[in-house]
Amino acid sequence: MEYLSQIVLIAIGAALINNFVLHYFVGICPFIGVSRRVDMAFGMGAAVTFVISIAAMLSWVLTYYVLQPGAPLAKWIAGLFLPAEIAAQVDLSVLTYIVYIFVIASSVQFVEMYLRKFLPALYKSFGVFLPLITTNCAILFACLYVMKMVVGVEPAEQWGLVPSLTLAFFAGIGFTLAIVIMAGIREELDHCDVPAPLRGPGITLIVSGILALAFLAFTGMDRKLEKMFKGDAPAVTAAQDAQVPTSASPVWKPPAQTDSPDTDTQRQ
Amino acid sequence: MAKDGPTPLERFLRGIIPENPVFRQVLGTCPTLAITGTVRQAITMSAAVMFVLICANLITSMIRNLLKPHLRILVFTLTIAAFVTIADKFLAAFVPDMSEKLGPYIPLIVVNCIIICRCEVCASKQGLAASAADAVGQGLGNTLALVAMATVRELLGSGSWFDIPLFWKEGTAGEQFRWSIMNQPPGAFITFGLLLGAVVWIDQLHQKRAAAAKR
């Protein structure tokens, strides 16, 4: 039950509360570049969801078995030609960024080849989006997030494959949600009289600011849900609720949000 | 190397305002939005970007004759990833608090479009001097943009500049004037949108004036 609730919290956190685009600001380039029409936005979202799941899965496997300090596979390989006490200290975490970018680039290539061979219809609908994804920060960010939950964490709290996959998949869903909403708004914006200097990226950014404001409303949902899952916690009053810092995001707050108490002053 | 192309000095100057990577080309938006909460973060980040940009441009320029067209993006990203690792370890060792705050955004320099774009457009075609000048110019342009963003956001959101309190001190009555939204994601988007609009507006005014002068 605890495991299941953890999974649900991760899923909701990744898709809504800490939406990758609107909370962590990753994947902004496609968010602005490809959000002109709803069908294209949906294609991009689907492609990202697809690749992000594969990349996060691969990077979890690599991080857990090869890259983390004292990883089993790395230790075993080093043990073949080094004395055991030196092999036990093997630490390849310096290589993480290079390995991740390699994993992403090759999995994009691989997905592309697979789709072209076996699912040509889907391949045609993804079109140019697949190669573009290689440089999408959202994918690398998901890999780094997974790394953060594996490297240097107590073994009991390390993430397994399932939480990592859930995070990545629902981050992709969140990305799709944000980009499709944005595309819907932009289709309407075409008929609006926007001041000349703001046309194009300017107005898109301002609209996404308002969208981000809307997504701020999900803040604190995870805390409520956690309490609901545990069941035994006493009911929280609004005053107590306001005292807790903004989001119970497990890994990073965006550095922009380091001054956390201000939401509380706003609310009072 | 193109003989009649712009000189290194022109390349350098061009990167700062006329072809500013952030405001004119709208590249590298992730760090622009994410780490401009305070000026100190922005400076640290843009220093890291500049280091990686210069090194990656130099290496790419050196190996430009060996590059195979279909593998070049991969080579660029791997070069960049190596230098980002260096920058990341350096920051973690010497400014651990900043490294903590910037968190995932330092490794995300790997996929920063500015660097890949400069490698592709300039360094893979030009000699060492031209690519170095280009990298420094674009890096300064990026710094300028990040500091501009951070100035607006820090002044309105925290009432300070470079961590020096200007409008009010922490914990005094003046704090009620803080625009807390500026410290949060929506503020970043809106500031960036408005600054982008302002830059385009100034540019349009210039063009109009130039057209009027011609007549």
Task: Tell me whether residue B148 is exposed, middle or buried, using C-beta atoms within 10 angstroms of its C-beta: 0 to 12, 13 to 18, 19 or more.
Answer: buried
Q: What is the mean pLDDT of chain A?
A: 80
Residue of B29, B77, B103 lying closest to A28 (CB–CB): B29
What pLDDT sits at residue A53?
A: 92
> Scanning every residue of chain B, which has its alpha carbon at the shortest distance from the alpha carbon of A196?
B201
What pLDDT sits at residue B195?
A: 92
* Per-window interface: A 43-72 vs B, CB < 8 A: none
pLDDT (tens place) for every residue of chain B, 215 residues total:
444 567 878 888 887 888 888 888 888 888 888 888 889 999 999 999 999 999 999 999 999 888 887 778 888 888 999 999 999 999 999 999 888 888 888 998 888 888 888 888 888 888 888 899 989 999 999 999 999 999 999 888 888 888 787 777 766 766 777 788 888 889 999 999 999 999 999 988 989 999 998 87
> Scanning every residue of chain A, which has its alpha carbon at the shortest distance from the alpha carbon of B150?
A256
Residue A264 has pLDDT above 60, yes or no: no
- β-strands B160-161, B164-165: how paired? antiparallel
Q: Is A254 in the B-facing interface, judged by CB distances under 8 Å?
A: yes
Structure tokens at A73: 């596979």
What pLDDT sits at residue B191?
A: 92
Residue A176 has pLDDT above 70, yes or no: yes
| Longest alpha-carbon distance in chain A | 72
**Which of A109, A124, A118, A117 minimizes the C-alpha distance to A51?**
A109
What pLDDT sits at residue A245?
A: 45
Q: How close A252 comes to chain B (CA, Å)? A: 7
CB B150 within 8 A of CB B183: no
Q: What is the pTM assigned to this prediction?
A: 0.83
Residue matched to tokens 């440089």: A135
What pLDDT sits at residue A253?
A: 53
> Scanning every residue of chain A, which has its alpha carbon at the shortest distance from the alpha carbon of B41?
A255
Q: Is A151 in the B-facing interface, judged by CB distances under 8 Å?
A: no
DSSP-assigned states of every residue in B9-35: HHHHHHHHTTT-TTTTT---HHHHHHS
Residue A128 has pLDDT above 80, yes or no: no
Residue A42 has pLDDT above 60, yes or no: yes
The one-character DSSP state at B123 is I
Instruction: Tell which wins on pLDDT, A152 or A97.
Output: A97
Taking the CA atoms of chain B, what radius of gyration do you get in angstroms? 19
Residue A21 has pLDDT above 70, yes or no: yes
The one-character DSSP state at A82 is S
Residue A263 has pLDDT above 60, yes or no: no
Are the beta carbons of A212 and B185 separated by less than 8 Å?
Answer: yes
Whole-number Å distance between alpha carbons of A266 and B3: 60
Q: ipTM for the complex?
A: 0.84
Residue of B77, B102, B110 lying closest to A255 (CB–CB): B102
Instruction: Tell which wins on pLDDT, B88 or A109.
Output: B88
Residue A233 has pLDDT above 60, yes or no: no
Q: How close A159 comes to chain B (CA, Å)? A: 18
The one-character DSSP state at A196 is G
A125-129, A237-241, B103-107, B149-153: which range is least confident on average?
A237-241
> Scanning every residue of chain A, which has its alpha carbon at the shortest distance from the alpha carbon of B109?
A137
The one-character DSSP state at A237 is P
On chain A, the residues whose CB falls within 8 A of the CB of B157 are 259, 262
What pLDDT sits at residue B104?
A: 86
What pLDDT sits at residue A207?
A: 92
The one-character DSSP state at A244 is S
Beta bridge partners of B160: B165
Structure tokens at A54: 């594969």
Residue of B88, B190, B204 lying closest to A206 (CB–CB): B190
What pLDDT sits at residue B3?
A: 47
Whole-number Å distance between alpha carbons of B76 and B208: 40
A106-120, A186-200, A220-234, B29-43: which range is least confident on average?
A220-234
Element (H, E) at A118: helix A96-118
What pLDDT sits at residue B192?
A: 92
CB B130 within 8 A of CB B122: yes
